[in-house]
Chain A
């Protein structure tokens, strides 16, 4: 029975259970819902949970783990000496499961009878050709060992499928029966449902955390892999970045990329922090409600623009504009800038991107400063701007610093604007009008090349990613610490 139908059957049992238990509860209370411990629908929901949750969990676990077990037991039956030269058990098992799936497909498409699929032998049939006719492409000819293993594999899978269907549906029915037997007027169905809701919420929270953990672990393992084949001292202390995809001559120094990242981020923050903060102060303290209702969403729209659009803006507008000022024959008569792509270009545009980020967070934080604080200052005879500078901002400062650090970690992680605005040259230079590049941009270029995934030139991307992760994590932790540390000051 296909998985889809098993799920449907389980859900159907759940729905039937809902109805049954609900009416049984009502009956046991003599038709008066007041005699029940919980509302009738809770008894129904309880039955639904009993007959759905555990069976679906079983189904899920079965689908994940049993194929692994089958693979392992079939693999064990292949004799060592049958493994072809230059191949491995893993590769053979991949072939086995491909042939096994191919046979399935052939049967379901009618190209082969069930009987035939079980009995064909390589001696009499060209299996590769037969399978190719239903669209299953095999790399090499199917030899007898593989075909036999595949047939065994198929039989075992079929059997497992059957057992799985029976087990899941039986479990579901058992759950229903249990729920039925427990449904009585004084059964605390509401509490059971409440507990189930809590478990569901915990599960949702765990998904996010576990995914993060998974991402970190995969980064970590690949990073370790990289440092196994590349000296860490070279990665951290070499000041040149010039990967060549040949075997020799690669230099993979982190420093120029990190410097580019920081330089561009600093330019971006130098734009975003003052502008964003002043905008927030205006919105929170001076703007009339009408202006605020209109200007705040407008500013936040900036945050919704995809970064690629900012990248285009950098490439097509800001870059050429800067060149016309600072480039050869430009307005200022200096020749600082040779091309449109530069730290300045990317930094300015990224700063614009971060303005709503800073302003929106700061605005919320400034608004959270109690009005009593402002009244106290105004009541002493301070002007509005004195009040803001000396009372409101100091009170809001921890939150604002947090907002700035969060903006900084966004700046550090930004890629698109850098690729389009800052160029691709890894350089250690102080000139902000020169092209530079960042860690993120290089991660992209290292992984999108044609290189072998196991080469240091590709693996270095994970080390770069890990470095970036550690830096932004540290920034975020610092931001949280600052916000927490000073928060209770005016609570």
Chain B
């Protein structure tokens, strides 16, 4: 089955770069959490970040939508551009940026509101809908994108917190998708889910690739192999290796990558 998938996984050479990060350093107070990271993330592909826990995957992911700004002691240096525009430029409003770069978290975190209001939250804040009908349409489209519409269409007024873990995570994906982002960041989106829910979310990620550039952090190498076209391997705050997923898993160039993949570190 994996083999079939890798046949599907054709990465065209003329793909365009969505995010480019150069020489990124991140500090938490005095700890240097990310060192000299250079990454180019392509549009309409799934990029996976793998590595042992504590190596800085989440930290780097959070640089891409400036969520690290919400942590007082965190300091980011370097050059990160989305579509060629420096996102750490003074003129960029991080709030605006986050509307463009959606994020899904490790633990499903629906708001204590109805399913409808959860999804409508982003569009309402950003004024994306001009009428109730338009908002309904956005909500429905997003829930369909999140592959959860059929399960919740009859109970849009029920609280989002009453759904099962897997449904909650798909609701959160729908919520992130509703603001029409260009990039979707996912930080271990399946780590709190059972295998069936995980399979559903993975399927969803593969579909989302049609419209977005997806970056997913995962500690499961099988998952990275299943859903991503490109994989970046982090180790102790360094980006060790970055390349096509098939190549990273079958023929890694760095011995640390090889040890990790064969289960000797992490």
Binding site for B on A (CB under 8 A): 288-289, 370, 372-383, 386, 390-391, 394-395, 489-490
Contacts and interface: CB of A to CB of B under 8 A. Distances in A.
B125 interface: yes
Contacts of B176: 379-380
B77 to A, nearest CB: 22
A377 B72 contact: no
B211 interface: no
A376 B95 contact: no
B170 to A, nearest CB: 14
A381 B172 CA distance: 14
Contacts of A370: 109
17 contacts: A373-B112, A375-B70, A377-B121, A378-B67, A379-B103, A380-B102, A380-B176, A380-B179, A381-B98, A381-B122, A382-B121, A382-B122, A382-B125, A383-B95, A386-B125, A395-B112, A489-B159
A386 B103 CA distance: 17
A394 B118 CA distance: 13
Contact of B111 (A383, A386, A395): A395
B95 A373 contact: no
Contact of A372 (B95, B99, B109): B109
A489 B161 contact: yes
Contacts of A382: 95, 121-122, 125
A288 B100 CA distance: 29
A4 B29 CA distance: 64
A416 B130 CA distance: 56
Interface residues of B, number: 29
Nearest to B107: A372
Given A373-B111, A489-B112, A489-B159, A379 B67 contact: yes
A389 to B, nearest CB: 10
Given A375-B67, A391-B111, A394-B112, A380 B122 contact: yes
B105 interface: yes
B250 interface: no
Q: Give 9 nearest A-B pairs by CB, closest first.
A: A381-B99, A379-B103, A372-B109, A381-B98, A489-B112, A376-B109, A380-B122, A395-B112, A490-B112
Contact of A378 (B70, B111, B113, B172): B70
A390 B105 CA distance: 19
Contacts of B125: 380-382, 386, 390
B7 to A, nearest CB: 35
Contacts of A390: 111, 121, 125
A209 B173 CA distance: 50
Q: Main SS of chain A's interface residues?
A: helix
Interface string B137-179: 0000000000000000000000101000000000010011001
B126 A381 contact: yes
Contact of A379 (B72, B105, B112, B159): B105
Contacts of A381: 95-100, 122, 125-126, 179
A367 to B, nearest CB: 16
B65 interface: yes
Interface string B45-78: 0000000000000000000010100101000000
A270 to B, nearest CB: 28
A380 B96 contact: no
Interface string B27-58: 00000000000000000000000000000000
A390 B126 CA distance: 14
A375 B69 CA distance: 11
A376 B172 contact: yes
B168 to A, nearest CB: 11
Given A372-B107, A379-B67, A379-B103, 17 more contacts: A289-B72, A372-B105, A373-B109, A375-B105, A376-B109, A376-B175, A377-B111, A380-B99, A380-B121, A380-B122, A381-B95, A381-B98, A390-B111, A390-B125, A391-B111, A395-B111, A395-B112
A90 to B, nearest CB: 64
A83 B159 CA distance: 77
Contacts of A489: 112, 159, 161
A380 B98 contact: yes
A383 B98 CA distance: 10
A491 to B, nearest CB: 9
A370 B122 CA distance: 19
Nearest to A391: B111
A376 B174 CA distance: 12
A94 to B, nearest CB: 65
A490 B67 contact: no
B225 to A, nearest CB: 27
A376 B185 CA distance: 12
A127 to B, nearest CB: 79
A490 B107 CA distance: 12
A403 to B, nearest CB: 18
A390 B125 CA distance: 10
Contacts of B95: 381-383
B198 to A, nearest CB: 19
Nearest to B162: A489
B34 to A, nearest CB: 19
A110 B65 CA distance: 94
Contacts of A391: 111, 121
A372 B70 CA distance: 12
A288 B161 CA distance: 31
Interface in B169-226: 172, 175-176, 179
A375 B96 contact: no
Interface core residue of A377, A378, A379, A380 (most chain B CB under 10 Å):
A379
Given A380-B99, A380-B125, A490 B161 contact: yes
Contacts of A378: 67, 70, 98
A375 B109 contact: yes
Contacts of B103: 375, 379-380
A375 B71 CA distance: 11
A391 B175 CA distance: 14
A132 B97 CA distance: 94
A289 B121 CA distance: 30
Nearest to A489: B112
Contact of B98 (A289, A379, A490): A379
A469 B141 CA distance: 55
A375 to B, nearest CB: 6
A372 B72 CA distance: 16
Contacts of B179: 380-381
